[in-house]
Chains A and B, each alone.
Chain A
Amino acid sequence: MLNKLPIISIKELSYTYPNSTEALRNVNMNIYESELIGIMGKNGAGKTTLIRTLNGLIQPTKGSIFINGEIIKNKSIATLSKEVGIIFQNPSHQLFANSVEEEIKFSLKSLNLNKEELNFRVDKILKDFNLEKYRKRSPLNLSGGESKKLALASIICRDPKILVFDEPTLGQDAKEINMFINLIKNERKKGKTIIIITHNVEFAFEYIPRIILMTEGQIIADGPTSKVLNNEILIEKTSLILPQTRQFVMKLKESGFPDLDNLISKNQIIDYLMKFIRKEKTFIKGI
């Protein structure tokens, strides 16, 4: 991975809001093609500000951002949005058209597609997202989960290389989260780079391989999820909680179970416990 050129390269990025709040301070990071990364940290850590700089919604006060090796400074939001699709938390902030179909067409309008291509893409995305039955329905009459799906569809239909999700699991039920997990798996298969802002530790621990932790506008950790999220000091600094597996391992440690240091995933813990139970059984039989 290190031999490849990063698809996103952020160098010494700083941003101060007009009211003098320093939202980002000297942020440096590289993100590689088809990578799936999570950005975590407490509220006000600068996560959303950071993603807003990626498609030019915010112009950094200092530093630079390179996408595909090109500096984005002089590019318009309309141009950058073809490369970076940001899906914001609240779907009702973008739905306005008369029908679900029109909503998708609005997103595709700026791509200057011919009629056939436009209709093809609309049909495909409605089918992919199981929204065909709502084609003629007003987006304002959709349920929360369906609105979220439509908001996702309206960005993904533009086929950006980089997808950025702001709190995608917030307020979602288990079925909707599963749908989202399948979606990111499919998009990764297509070679998309995915960035997810989340507070959901369990979701991040299970599905995201690399985590960036932020606090007070700075990156304090960047590495494999199992290492970052199992680090108690880092977790404490970012007001997160340890993953349930780690908490369970700590409880086992307190109860005197030996050799627990290398246990990270659910499966490793299950294997460890199974071995332990088998041993105990043999011991009892022996008696």
Chain B
Amino acid sequence: MSLEFLNAFKFMKKETLLHKLDPRVKLLFAIIYSICALLFTEIIPLLIIFLSLIPLVLIGRLLKQWIKSIYGLSFLMIFIIILNTLFLSLTFAIAMILRIIIMVSSFSLFFLTVDPNDLALSLISMKIPYEFAFSFSLAFRFVPTIAKEAQNIIDAQQSRGYEMQKRGFVNQIKNLFPLLIPLIICSIRRAFNVAEALESRAFGSKKERSYYFTIKYSLKDWIFTIYLLLFLISFITIRFFFNNMPEFFMWSLPV
């Protein structure tokens, strides 16, 4: 088993319009798209939201990574399809899959295009205390490290006969313990080490900090913010007046 798909959440420096946008706009984008996805349980509006993501993926030249992030969800998608089709309906199952894809894609685009350093700066500019902003950006920066560690744990366990694929839901859950326990222990130990390293470099000794780089909201950031707000307002309106919408909005699978 490979955790290669986690690279779909790792920042990659590129010179595209999407990469150049202010991190705050991209955070707003991820939040607004997730809210819009949570507003609906019908296929068509979710499909529209999903399709509206594609131009952004193309602008950011991130098609390969985006597909990888969706591929990484395949296990979860199969699980959702089976459970929802059995207990509810196939239409609902597809809608839930679209919802998850939208949410994961929007955050994947955020992580892929935001430099962790810029993220800390943008959070500070949003009046979030430096300690919290730093912790958040640090957590963000550790995603690839944890992915690598998880892969090492999988390799170490497989080397002593551990089998990833086991039949039965309960067995599959039980099967996660040999992976999750070492991963949690290693993460906690690393967190302590990082905290000690920071304290030994006098982290937090001065309340006032100065910054070498500053970030500014430019015209393109404002344009994208306006687009996002309009997007949110339109979908909230659609939700409120859903029953008055054209019939195709309510389309569902015949089964």
Contact = CB atoms under 8 A, between A and B. Distances in A.
Contact of B156 (A18, A82, A88): A88
Interface in B142-194: 149, 152-153, 155-163, 177-178, 181-182, 185-186, 189
B158 A81 contact: yes
Given A92-B189, A93-B153, A94-B153, A106 B159 contact: no
9 contacts: A55-B158, A57-B158, A81-B159, A86-B155, A86-B159, A88-B156, A90-B152, A96-B181, A109-B161
Nearest to B163: A78
A182 interface: no
* Among A78, A96, A110, residue most surrounded by chain B Cβ atoms (within 10 Å): A96
A10 interface: no
A85 interface: yes
Nearest to B2: A18
Contact of B159 (A19, A88, A140): A88
A55 B160 CA distance: 10
Interface of B: 4, 7, 149, 152-153, 155-163, 177-178, 181-182, 185-186, 189
* Among B153, B161, B178, residue most surrounded by chain A Cβ atoms (within 10 Å): B161
Contacts of B149: 93
B185 A107 contact: no
Interface in A9-47: 18-19
A154 B163 CA distance: 16
Would you list the 10 A-B pairs with minimal beta carbon distance, nearest first?
A: A110-B161, A96-B181, A94-B156, A86-B159, A93-B156, A107-B160, A77-B158, A93-B153, A88-B156, A57-B155
A19 B6 CA distance: 13
A95 B160 contact: no
A158 interface: yes
Interface in A78-114: 78, 81-82, 85-88, 90, 92-96, 106-107, 109-111
A81 B161 contact: yes
A94 B160 contact: yes
Contacts of A82: 161
A109 B177 CA distance: 15
Given A94-B153, A107-B161, 12 more contacts: A18-B4, A55-B159, A78-B158, A88-B152, A94-B178, A96-B177, A96-B178, A96-B181, A106-B178, A110-B160, A140-B185, A155-B159
A97 to B, nearest CB: 8
Contacts of B181: 96
A121 interface: no
Contacts of B186: 92-93
A52 interface: yes
A144 B84 CA distance: 47
Contacts of B163: 78, 110
A69 B211 CA distance: 63
